[in-house]
Amino acid sequence: MPAGRRAQAQQQRPLSILSRIPTRPTISLQPTTPVLDDTPTSSLLRPLSQPSLSLLQVRGAKRDTFNPSHRVRKRRHGFLARLRSRTGRKVLARRKAKGRNTLSH
């Protein structure tokens, strides 16, 4: 491939949804030992043809999304919010029937 064309290919960005995800630590699924026989089970151990699918994201990374607000909690889950809706009144009735000391926030 000529050098000019290679530089042009590197400048183009992929239009995949996966390309917008921030990079995180990944684990490779490629087998550590080479597969020598060509049995039906050995085809399952071969790496996938798409490089984006051959890597998995490591789950459980910490995120800083918790931003507590007492007002918002009471507005969404409070007693008055439960009284305003039909399903909220059902929640209060279930908790009262069960004998909960605290019906809501």
Q: What is the structure's pLDDT at 2?
A: 61
Could you give the angle at the alpha carbon of 11 between the alpha carbons of 10 and 17, nearest 5°? 90
Mean pLDDT (the chain) is 75
At 26-60, the pLDDT tens digits run 666 666 665 555 555 655 555 555 556 555 566 77
The CATH class of the 70-105 domain is mainly alpha
The CA distances from residue 10 to 3, 4, 6, 15, 43, in Å, are: 11, 10, 6, 13, 32
The answer to pTM > 0.85 is no
